Amino acid sequence: MVVVDLQAFEAQIAAGGAVDINDPMPDEYRHQACRIMGFQCLAEIVGGLMFAEWIPRTPSLLRKMMLTAKVQDEMGHAYYLLRTCEDMGLSRAQIIEDYLDGKSKLLNVFHYRIETWHEWPIAALTQNSAALVQFKSLVKTSFLPYARALKRIMKEESFHYHNALDLTRTLCLQGPEHRRKVQEGLNKWWMPVLAYFGPPDAGSAHTHQNMRWRLKIDTNDQLRQNWLAQMVPVIQSLGLEIPDDRLRWNEEAEAWEFSEPDWAAIKHVINGNGPASEYWHETVARNYRADGWVRELVDRERGAA
């Protein structure tokens, strides 16, 4: 292991330098980069499952194919990330097993389940746009393998955004009864997605370090503002009402005001007490067990090759 001079490393990053996988880097930087990518990898997998269960229930062949493409993309995203994780010593099995063993947690939005056909496009629209806002920021990371993966991911994520926007609009245009059902979906998903960006950065040492290393680019609050700036007009243009009567643009502060999510409640959800926390945990565990024979077969072949 190459010993890295932390000061020289930080000076290099501060000067706009970037780090590739075989470059010398402090162990803690490597650990954080790997952790961030592994976390997103898990989110892509569970996020994919959330939509995969809608493929058989989708009422037109074209929409079925579009949704299938989206789910394949999510698994592809997980794959771009996990190849780098594996090169750094974090295996794909470990990423799943850490979640199953309760050692890693899912993002708050993956503790819910999409329950109606009218709900999924608005869930996808809010989630995809939030992810895009986050990726647009993170793509400026100093860690090059992550930047390269995000570039590919963003291109596909933008397909998903337009797919979700198209279906939301189509449903809203089908009359007040349909729009009312989409509105119910928005009422359910608005707050979780607003909270998706995480609590206001309290200036923790962790955050400071990752921002100094450009493993994190913008604060959670800044990302939330970026998302509101982008999505409030889009949602309103669909004739939907944002379920927060405190939401308004503050001219002086040049920022959106909104009802602060109940962070204690969100934490409770993330700790496995959301309405579908158990459902997703069981679903991932069941799939992981059921696919075990494929992994064994592939590993045996790799061993024999």
Partner 1 sequence: MSTETGIYEVFAETVAPRQVVHVGSVRAPNQALAIQLAREIYFRREACFRLGVVDRAHLQWSDAPEQALTERNAARSYRTPAFFGRRRRRAETRPS
Binding site for partner 1 (CB under 8 A): 21-22, 69, 72-73, 76, 79-80, 83, 86-89, 148, 152, 155-156, 159, 298, 301-302, 304-305
Q: Which amino acid does the sequence have at 139?
A: V
Q: Which is nearer to partner 1, 148 or 267 (CB)?
A: 148
Ordered DSSP codes for 85-131: HHHTT--HHHHHHHHHTTSS---GGGGS---STTHHHHHHHHHHHHH
- Give the C-alpha distances (Å, rounded to integers) separating 226 from 104, 131, 171, 221: 27, 11, 26, 9
CB of 73 to partner 1, least distance (A): 7
Between 8 and 298, name the residue whose CB sits nearer to partner 1.
Answer: 298
Closer residue to partner 1 (CB): 76 or 272: 76
Residue 257 and residue 294: Cα distance in Å, rounded? Answer: 50
Give me the least distance between CB of 66 and partner 1, in Å please. Answer: 12
Rounded to a whole number of angstroms, the minimum distance from the CB of residue 304 to partner 1 is 8
Q: How far is the CB of 215 from partner 1 (least distance, A)?
A: 20
Q: Which of 29, 50, 28, 47 has the alpha carbon at shortest distance from 39? A: 47
In whole angstroms, how close is the CB of 93 to partner 1 at the nearest point?
12
Shortest distance, position 128 Cβ to partner 1, whole Å: 16
Query: 144-172 vs 119-138: helix axis angle to the nearest 10?
Result: 150
Token reading at 233: 């007009």
Name the residue nearer to partner 1 (CB basis): 9 or 112: 9
Taking phi over 0 as left and psi of -120 to 50 as alpha, with beta for the rest, 203 belongs to left
Q: Is the dihedral of CA 30, 33, 39, 44 positive or negative?
A: negative
DSSP code for 272: I
